[in-house]
Structure 1
Amino acid sequence: MAGTETDPPGDPETVAKAICLRLLTDRARTRTELAAALHRKGVPAEVAERVLGRFSEVGLIDDAAFAEQWVRSRHNSRGLARRALAAELHRKGVDGEVVGRAVAALDRDSEERRARELVDRKLRTIPSADHRAANRLVGMLARKGYPAGLAYRVVREALSERGVKGLPEEADLD
């Protein structure tokens, strides 16, 4: 097993525990993330599985709790929608069923409210009379995972409130 200066000396299980605890000190991690870290550090697969199993048993690793916290945090801080959050959780190795339950916690109203906040904030920095404003705003929401119909509707309403004709009515794709 390849050790580094930051890995404690000792048997592979002690090293694996120390690696996991150090990583979990920074932030919650998924089982897949920890398994990948142990693999990179050269921890034998059977030792990694044993340590990860024990950490799961005692509640130090909980992908469902991680996913719920991730969804709340990233939706509030970054304004990400369900689709983008699900993609991030899949990349982190969270099971699809767990991802589905976590993103289901975001209802349509909270997603729409957050989209509106993002558009309103962005409109403070770009001139709404700019003929490209609508496209830029819809693009911003799309990159954050918002459905096209919702993005068009929120942008059209926000621009309309400012007296700007931004998107045609037929752009509503809900």
Structure 2
Amino acid sequence: MAQWPNRRAEPPDDLGWTEDADPESVARKILLDQLSITARSRHELEERLARRNVPEDVAGRLLDRFEEVGLINDEAFARAWVDSRQRTRGLARTALAAELRRKGIADETARTVLAEVDPGDEEDAAGVLVRKKLRSMRGLDTQVATRRLVGMLARKGYSPGLAYAVVKRELGAPEWSGDDE
């Protein structure tokens, strides 16, 4: 089996295509291969088929059929994506919305899924991120630690108000021992 330098890289475009290959069979194989790895949005699959030079009419017909039978479901994909990224990366709704947009999820679907995110869970996730980062900040001045922690939360999509509140709460915890306390 051929090895590509980057495991996430796409295989060369000529794989699967022969002179007498049926474009629909090749496209179906591409879709099934992609979906066997992980769930994907319709938009991502459309892009992959286009990169592999699958005719648009064939791609559209197959994508529609895969949606009909439930193999492609953007709302379920978005829910799973939000759950995973919130759990593993601690991302806030703002960052999650941007990621869903890049994945080609419709704004209405993204709003529906993101509305299900509990603000309390979001605050808890921010607290976990801050506590984890605080372990490496022992001995830092409280102002420096505050600035770095709020910046980290901002990069993960948290609002300034929530970021400051969580950082203030965590820095006030007895486990924190900055230089100026």
Same fold (TM over 0.5): yes
CA contact (8 A) 2:138 2:178 kept: no
Q: TM-score, normalised by structure 2?
A: 0.85
- 2:151 corresponds in structure 1 to 139
Alignment length (residue pairs): 164
The residue type equivalent to 1:160 in the other structure is G
CA contact (8 A) 1:89 1:99 kept: yes
Q: Of residues 152, 156, 164 in structure 2, which corresponds to 1:152?
A: 164
Indicate how the Cα distance of structure 1 residues 128 and 71 shifts in structure 2: closer, same or farther if over 3 A, else same.
farther
Q: CA deviation at 1:129?
A: 3.5
- Residues in 2 aligned to 1:88 and 1:72: alpha-carbon distance in whole angstroms: 13
- Residues in 2 aligned to 1:96 and 1:34: alpha-carbon distance in whole angstroms: 18
Determine what percentage of the aligned residue pairs are the same residue: 49
Q: CA deviation at 1:163?
A: 6.4
Q: Does 1:56 align with 2:67?
A: yes
* Equivalent residues in 2 for 1:54-133, closer than 5 Å: 54-127=65-138, 129-130=140-141, 131-133=143-145
The residue type equivalent to 2:109 in the other structure is V
- Residues in 2 aligned to 1:71 and 1:3: alpha-carbon distance in whole angstroms: 31
CA contact (8 A) 1:127 1:133 kept: no
Which secondary structure state, in structure 1, belongs to the residue aligned with residue 63 of structure 2? helix
- 2:24 corresponds in structure 1 to 13
CA contact (8 A) 1:128 1:159 kept: no
- Residues in 1 aligned to 2:13 and 2:117: alpha-carbon distance in whole angstroms: 42
